[in-house]
Amino acid sequence: MDLIVTGATGLVGSLLLQYLDKINTNIEIGCLLRPTSDISQLTQLNLKIKYLRGDSFTVKTWQEILSQFCPKTIVHIASIRHIPVIMDCLREAGQNPRLVVIGTTGVYSKYNQYSREYRVIENKITEYPGSYSLLRPTMIYGSHRDKNLHKLIKFCDRYGFFPVFGAGDNLIQPVHAEDLAQAILTALQRPHIQGAYDLSGGTVVTFRELLTLVGKLLGKPVRQISLPLNAGVWSATILENILKERSPVRREQILRLQEDKAYPHDAAQRDLDFFPRTLEEGLRQEVELMRSLGMISS
């Protein structure tokens, strides 16, 4: 087995496989999928894919896979929280494939309840005896399948306003999913690349500037309703408990909106040829896609 990919049916994973398909690779790819995963998109690709059913968070799944295969590379796009299980199973199997792990710039958060676990996991990765690349994206956007900006765009289009909790002058630097997938592909093609890389978008904006840009691309003004931070945390907690995944905002998002999340990507530019698109370009593509799917007004 040349390559095992987790999260292959997700937004970034599916884009990575599309890129691999375009370069006409002849490698054998194992896609670790849950039994309920929809593989319809993957079956349309001209790739040598073997579907491995299981859960990347369970020891049993990896024990079964590693007893049958000795992968040269593992690209882990599913939650970085699964990495300790994967590394423990690799150690037990006596295997040290190259690891390409998708982490998060959330590791830099000042809120310890969100960053501590990421720091512990990253420290574990640095102890890995094999080769690894740790890619830390900022907020990922670029499709109706993203978990962040498409909800904001839909809300702004439907209601014409968006709440701003606190000052709203925090810096953000979202990265487009296609740019992230391209960086993963480059990391695969350059096995000598080792270490951690921050992958941020091509534009730094404040949250208020983001809302202004969304209004511009929607062709309608988006009113910014200023609200106290405490009210935002309280409201988001209630919405999250009631609406679950359908909630337009999460408690963690409200809290982390108060800190800057802009990070230089100079190292990734140097080693991975990472030149991400501007936020306006990426959002315009996302708005056009959402319009074509009838998710927002024309």
**Residue 167 counted as domain residue:** no
Determine the pLDDT at residue 248: 65
pTM of this prediction?
0.92
Determine the pLDDT at residue 1: 79
Domain, as residue range, for 96: 3-142+174-200+262-276
pLDDT by 10-residue block (mean), the chain, 298 residues: 94 96 88 91 92 95 96 96 97 97 94 86 96 97 90 95 90 97 97 96 97 97 90 81 75 78 97 98 96 93
Number of domains in the chain: 1
At 52 the three-state DSSP class reads: strand
- Cα(247)–Cα(236) distance, rounded to whole angstroms? 8
Determine the pLDDT at residue 229: 82
SS3 annotation, 55-107: CCCCHHHHHHHHHHCCCCEEEECCCHHHHHHHHHHHHHHCCCCEEEEECCHHH
Determine the pLDDT at residue 247: 73
**Residue 219 counted as domain residue:** no
The set of residues, in sequence order, having a beta carbon less than 8 Å from that of 42 and lying 6+ positions away, is 8, 9, 14, 17, 31, 49, 51
Which CATH number belongs to the domain containing residue 9 in this structure?
3.40.50.720
**Residue 16 counted as domain residue:** yes
The set of residues, in sequence order, having a beta carbon less than 8 Å from that of 267 and lying 6+ positions away, is 195, 197, 198
**Residue 49 counted as domain residue:** yes
28 burial level (CB within 10 Å; 0-12, 13-18, 19+)? middle
Handedness of CA 239, 241, 243, 244 (dihedral sign): positive
- Cα(69)–Cα(27) distance, rounded to whole angstroms? 14
**Residue 101 counted as domain residue:** yes
